[in-house]
Amino acid sequence: MSSPYAVDLRGVTKRYNEIVAVNNMNLNIYKGEIFALLGPNGSGKSTTLKMLMGLVQPTNGEISVLGLDVVKEPVAVKEQVGYVPESPTIYEFLTGIEYLDFIADIYGVPTAEKQQRITEYLKALQLEGREGDMINSYSDGMKKKISLISAFLHKPKLLIFDEPLNALDPRSARIVKDLLHELKAQGVTTILSTHVLEIAEALCDRIAIMYQGNILALGTMEELRGRASMPNSGLEDIFLKLTGTGDLRAVVEELLR
């Protein structure tokens, strides 16, 4: 019987010298789930996502993605994953269309499908007319759109996005959100990290709040409210309470002095 988990982390730790970025993390993410990692800067979200992609090796622990060991079968894992880092540096000397062509070839997308998908995505995210320009002339938002398209092109089973909606215009952000919902219905799992709490609240089935490399709380919105004993609160209040950064008045007053 196949595992219900798309991602399974067991006792995962990542140390950078004396700094512990991720501390003994145990986490299961179900197939077809949209899952958010929240946390302040430096809490270990990006490191966790990179470990899932095999871009950072864990110091301890085991990571299984789609039933495959990330360390032992990295190529097989990457074939099934679409990934967009927080600030994707992409080949700026290529045109948008050349970059997507490159990505489709790397993932072995058949020619006919490649043509159809690239054309559709360019149209949907309003990049038509600029696809032949070199990427170094693109705005940050356009680069983000190209990066997102490159993650969707090969129809992955798992999407890993670090701040996916940063720099996107509202229309494109809405398209991406709707697309993620549609893909969820098709069984695609999405894991994302974000600082925009409204996105996590509106989009995700479950949320993990990380702080200093540890998962402070994990669950649906209702479960998080219960955990924080804040039954009618939004995610922002829960987040601030759980991460111990709730009383910000003194900080602001200090800055204004």
Partner 1 sequence: MNWKNVLYLLRVERKSGRLIRGIKATRYRENGFLAYWPYWVALIIGVLGGLIANAIVSSVYSDQAIGNLPFLTNGTLSVFVILPTVMLVFSFVFTLLQQIQLAGIKATGQVMYWLPVTWQEQTLASILSNLLGLPIAFVIGVGSGAIVFGAFNGLILQSLLTFAALIGAAFLASITTEILRLIQMRFIGAVYKSSGRAAIWVRLIGSLFFFVIIYVLYFYVIYGSGAVTLFTTLSNFQTTVWYVPFVWVALVVSYVFSGLFLQAALFTLLSALFIATLYHVAVFLNMRFGLYEPPAITLQKSGVYAPKAGLLGKLGFSTAEAAIIRKDSRAFTRRREMISIFIVPIIMIILPLMQSFGQTGRLGAGQGAGGIIFEAIIFLLPAGFTALLLGEVMIGEEGQSIWRIYASPISPKSLVKAKTSFLTLFSTVILLISGIIGIIVYQPPVEVSIAAFLGGFFMLLAVGIVGLTIGLKGPDFSQTRRARMVRQEWSLIGLVVGGAVGLFVLAPLIVTLGLSLFTGGAINTSNLAIGLAISIAISLAISIVFYRINLGIATDFLRKAQI
- In angstroms, rounded to a whole number, what is the distance separating the alpha carbons of residues 250 and 219? 31
The residue from 3, 60, 137, 220 that contacts partner 1 (CB under 8 A) is 137
**Per-residue interface string for the shown chain with partner 1, residues 92-131, x marking contact by CB under 8 A:** xxxx-xx--xxxxxxxx--x--xx--xx--x-----xxxx
- Whether the CB-CB separation of 49 and 32 falls below 8 Å is answered with no
**How far apart are CB 125 and partner 1 at their closest, in Å?**
14
CB of 55 to partner 1, least distance (A): 5
The helix or strand, by DSSP H or E, that contains position 152, with its residue range, turns out to be helix 140-152
Two tokens, residue 19: 């700094």
Cβ atoms within 10 Å, residue 83 = 22
Closest separation in Å from C-beta 47 to partner 1: 11
Size of the residue set binding partner 1 (CB under 8 A):
51
Roughly how many angstroms between the first and final C-alpha of the chain, as a whole number? 63
Nearer to partner 1, 64 or 243 (CB): 64
Q: Give CA angle at 145 (122, 129), nearest 5°.
A: 40
Q: Which of 51, 128, 124, 123 is nearest to 83 (CA)?
A: 51
Q: Could you say whether residue 144 binds partner 1 (CB under 8 A)? A: no
Kindly identify the residues of this chain, within the stretch 25-84, that bind partner 1 according to CB under 8 A: 50, 53-57, 71, 74-76, 78-79, 81, 83
In DSSP terms, which residues pair with 129 in a beta bridge?
Answer: none
Provide, rounded to whole angstroms, the least separation between the CB of residue 238 and partner 1: 32
Chain position carrying tokens 């229309």: 171
Both structure tokens of 11: 């006792």
Nearer to partner 1, 92 or 178 (CB): 92
Q: What is the binding site for partner 1 (CB under 8 A)?
A: 16-17, 19, 50, 53-57, 71, 74-76, 78-79, 81, 83, 85, 88-95, 97-98, 101-108, 111, 114-115, 118-119, 122, 128-134, 136-137
